[in-house]
Each structure stands twice: as structure tokens, then as C-alpha cells.
Amino acid sequence: MTKDDVKNIVLEIIEEIAPDEDLTDVKPDVRLRDQLDLDSMDFLDIVMELRKQHGIEVPEEEYQELASLDSSASYLLPKFNT
């Protein structure tokens, strides 16, 4: 698994929970909430889908690690590779 694979997984989850969002021009280094119309409930849905689909737990105090695609990939990659 690579960082790009993880970014694609995060984008697929966002597409599931916010199907009206245009994800074609998402910048990997900019906060997702600054680019997309995601509220706190959408963000919780992302965390819950990571747990449900991939068995990855994200503690609440580490939610900020999922702010952008780049930070999400850096944070999640070791969790996918265990």
C-alpha cells in the first residue's frame, strides 16, 4: 500500500458520504474542510467508515491528522500496513 492508495481510499469514502462533492480538483496539501462542503458530521462519517471498511481506529484526539489528503495518507499508511 502506498500513500496514493490511502488518498484514494479517503476520497472514495468522501464520495460515499458526500456524493454531490466534486473531488476532481482536491488539493492534497489543503485542508479538506476548506475545499469541500464537509461538516463535523461528515468528518465523523469518514472516521466511522475507516473503522467499518478497514478496521482502522482514529482516536478523537488524533482527528486533526486527517485534515488534508497528505496528512491523512501520512497518518493512515502505517495503520494499513500493520
Domains of the chain as residue ranges with CATH: 3-80 (1.10.1200.10)
With contact defined as beta carbons under 8 Å apart, do 72 and 7 qualify? yes
pTM of the model: 0.93
Query: Which whole number is the average pLDDT over 32-38?
Result: 93
Q: Which of 4-13, 33-42, 45-54 has the lowest mean pLDDT?
A: 33-42
48 to 14, 31, 51: CA distances (angstroms): 12, 19, 5
- Work out the average pLDDT over 20-34: 95
Q: Does the pLDDT of residue 82 top 80, yes or no?
A: no
Average pLDDT over residues 27-32: 96
- pLDDT at residue 81, as a whole number: 78
Confidence of residue 4 (pLDDT cuts 50, 70, 90): very high
Grid cell 491528522 is found at 65
